Structure 1
Amino acid sequence: MTLASAPVGATVAQLWEAYRNDLGDKPTATTMRYTGKAVLKHFGSYTPDQVSKELCEEYARNRMAAGISQGSVWTELGHLQSTMRFAEDIRAIERAPKVWRPSKPQTDKRILNRGEARALIDGAVEPHVRLAVALLLGTAARLGAVLDLTWDRVDFDAGTINLRLDDATTRKGRAFLPMNRTTRPALLAAHEAALSDHVIEYAGKPVGSIRTGFKAAAARAGIGHVRIHDLRHTAAVTMLSEGVPLEKVSQVLGHSNTTVTFSTYARYLPQHMQDAVDILDFGSLKRIL
């Protein structure tokens, strides 16, 4: 089904496929191929107006009873939510239904120190994986933004990297950033050997995933378990811990506002409240007679 052929009165299954087609070769399209197996089994035959909180709660209960984690259920229903918003955007439906989801579980973010980050870059022996890791750490970008990056958005004269997409096909914010002493030489070397328009390429073709190479790099580095997205967290916490203002960190991360940045990373920086609690040091005050 194409974007234009999504019919009025389409089922969730039809809209899901239309959304996947619209995503093209983006990683989310691949992920939805797998999440759709469970989601469409439960919701596929319904129309959007029939998607209710009760139906979503039933889905969550069934999935978790089958041993699926709450985080996975949150993600699966998130893809359903994105599909419904897409349907509204293309006017296949008048208004997207509210998709109930269980609370997103708190996950422990792995924050690498500088030595571990350096070891991870060194552990990436494949050039495309090494460049991707350097960019993930050097821009605090999401993986999708790095894999989407094309050479026409890399300006060596100005020393900038434009992670934004002109067609605004992603809902996640992306930044326009200067290069640093790691990303610039890495990009220059890759540009000299480039065989395609994409910055991250393998054999002249865009790369859809670096998970296998990343896992191997982490193993060679001997730094234990680390996820690709932890590099974004590492970059954010490193900037904040070095005193970079919250507003500037928020811009680098592409967040819509500083509230998002603060709510995500404040717990990693309790020292920023030191001056506040120092004022509450009642025990050391001299007794007033």
Structure 2
Amino acid sequence: MQEYTIGRLKGRFVVVWYEKDGKRRRYRLDAETREAAEAEARDILLSATAQKSQLTVEMIWHAYSETVVGRPVHEDMKYTGRSVLPWFGSLRPDQISANDCRAYIADRKRAGIQDGTIWTQLGKLRTCLNWAEKTGLIERAPYIERPSKPAPKERYLTRDEVKKLLSVDCAPHIKLAIRLMLSTAARVTAVLELTWDRVDFSRRQINLRTGEGRRKGRAIVPMTDGLHSALIDAQEAALSEYVIEWAGGPVKSIKKGFKAAAGASGLRNVSPHVLRHTAAVHMAEAGISMDEIAQYLGHTDTRITASTYARFSPEHLRKAARVLEFE
């Protein structure tokens, strides 16, 4: 804090300090005791010398994006910024209000954007501003109001639908990615980032984690027999270090290829994430414990797994139901 002195002038306490340019500043205080004068002086000094950060949301957005270069979230930030920054980019964080968020939500809804997408977009804004607070760029991150988070989608594939998808004639890297997602319950980003040095044929294990350590939903999982055979064939033809490759290099996205494969199989409302959900549902239906499913999914809290998948278990609430047998 700026150095200051407490003095008296005409029977009243005053606070005195010098600006950087040497200019003397003096304020008369209302305090009647020395202790109260100290407290009041500090408030006045902070108010008089504090300078609001000139960082705008757009500047913070790009600064945060630089910290995640090379990760899928970096592309997400660029894409999401096209919607968020025209609304919030020129504002300072302390200028954002709940009304601004509500106006954004209303505008996005008028444009036909679903609540889930809006929830994610404003979540990215919240993440940016919280990061700025934690790193000391801003004093306090504002509250970012979001619409209610939609209930999770229930879509998953039956065994017959899985067979249809796997039988489709599509590019080899698309088919291998589909096999990996179904057999490891991995997210599509984890599959696309998988390298051969993390495929252990001797132990028949796949390490979905990267060198960055803890990543969302990453685990070490065993290979199924079918996946083991598919990976052996793929490694023999490999031209790069990446398991999923195209023209000798890594693949950034399989959206188009996956959509074409799903369409050719006659399946509707299928995304790569549906395959992860499918794997978890089938494990739950087979009576696999929530703890094991959580490990497969890379969840750190089994309660998260149970809240989504426990109801698919054949024993879910059965013990409780037996207590209610009154016949």
TM-score normalised over the length of structure 1: 0.86
Give the aligned residue type for 1:173: G
Structure 1 counterpart of 2:320: 276
Q: Where do 5+ consecutive residues of structure 1 fail to align?
A: 1-7, 285-289
Please say if 1:119 is aligned against 2:178. Answer: no
Structure possessing the higher radius of gyration over alpha carbons = 2
CA distance 1:169–1:238, shift in 2 (3 Å): closer
Q: SS at 1:183's partner residue?
A: helix
For the 8 Å contact 1:124–1:213, the answer to whether it is kept is: no
Aligned to 1:235: 279
Q: Is contact 1:137–1:234 with CA below 8 Å preserved after alignment?
A: yes
**How far does residue 91 in structure 1 lie from its aligned partner after superposition?**
4.3
User: 1:287 aligns to what?
Assistant: none
Paired residue secondary structure (2:58): helix
Once residues 153 and 97 of structure 1 are traced to their aligned partners in structure 2, the CA distance between those partners, rounded to angstroms, is 41
> Is residue 207 of structure 1 aligned with residue 248 of structure 2?
no
Helix, strand or coil: the match of 1:40? helix
Name the aligned partner's letter for residue 36 of structure 1: G
* Equivalent-residue separation in structure 2 for 1:189 and 1:82 (angstroms): 42
- Most deviating of 270-279 and 219-228: 270-279
Separation (CA, whole Å) in 1 of partners of 2:140 and 2:92: 12
The 1:67–1:225 alpha-carbon spacing in structure 2 relative to 1, beyond 3 Å, is closer
Is the 1:71–1:105 contact (alpha carbons within 8 Å) kept by the matching residues of 2? yes
Q: More relative contact order in 1 or in 2 (CA 8 Å, sep 6+)? A: 1
Instruction: Determine the structure 2 residue equivalent to 1:266.
Output: 310
1:189–1:144 distance in 2 versus 1, CA, 3 Å: same
CA 1:18–1:215: 2 relative to 1, 3 Å: same
Local SS of the residue matching 1:136? helix
1:177 lines up with 2:255 in the alignment: no
CA offsets, 1:83-131, max 9 Å, x none?
Answer: 2244345543455444322111124321111221122122152111111
Matched, 1:157 2:202: yes
Summarize deviations over 1:130-168 as a string: whole Å, max 9, x none: 111001000101111111111121111222111112214
In the aligned structure 1, how far is the partner of 2:319 from the partner of 2:151?
A: 28
Q: Which deviates more from structure 2 when the two are superposed, residues 20-29 or residues 198-207?
A: 20-29
Aligned residue in 1 for 2:18: none
1:105 is the counterpart of 2:168:
no
SS at match of 1:161: strand
* Contact 2:122–2:144 (Cα < 8 Å) also in 1: yes
Task: Using the TM superposition, name which of 247-256 and 219-228 deviates more.
Answer: 219-228
2:150 match: secondary structure:
coil
- Amino acid paired to 1:53: A
Greater shift in the superposed pair: 264-273 or 195-204: 264-273
Aligned residues: 275
Choose the corresponding residue for 1:248, options 292, 314, 321: 292
Separation in structure 1 between the aligned mates of residue 229 and residue 129 of structure 2, nearest angstrom: 43
Identity of aligned residues (%): 47
Q: Matches of 2:109 and 2:224 in 1, distance apart?
A: 45
The amino acid across from 1:68 in the alignment is I
Structure 2 residue corresponding to 1:147, chosen from 192, 208, 218: 192
Task: Indicate conservation of the 8 Å contact 1:9/1:92, yes or no.
Answer: no
> 2:64 & 2:166 partners in 1: Cα distance?
35
RMSD: 2.2
Q: Which runs of 5+ in 2 are unaligned?
A: 1-52
SS at match of 1:173: coil
- Whether contact under 8 Å (2:65, 2:77) holds in the other structure is yes
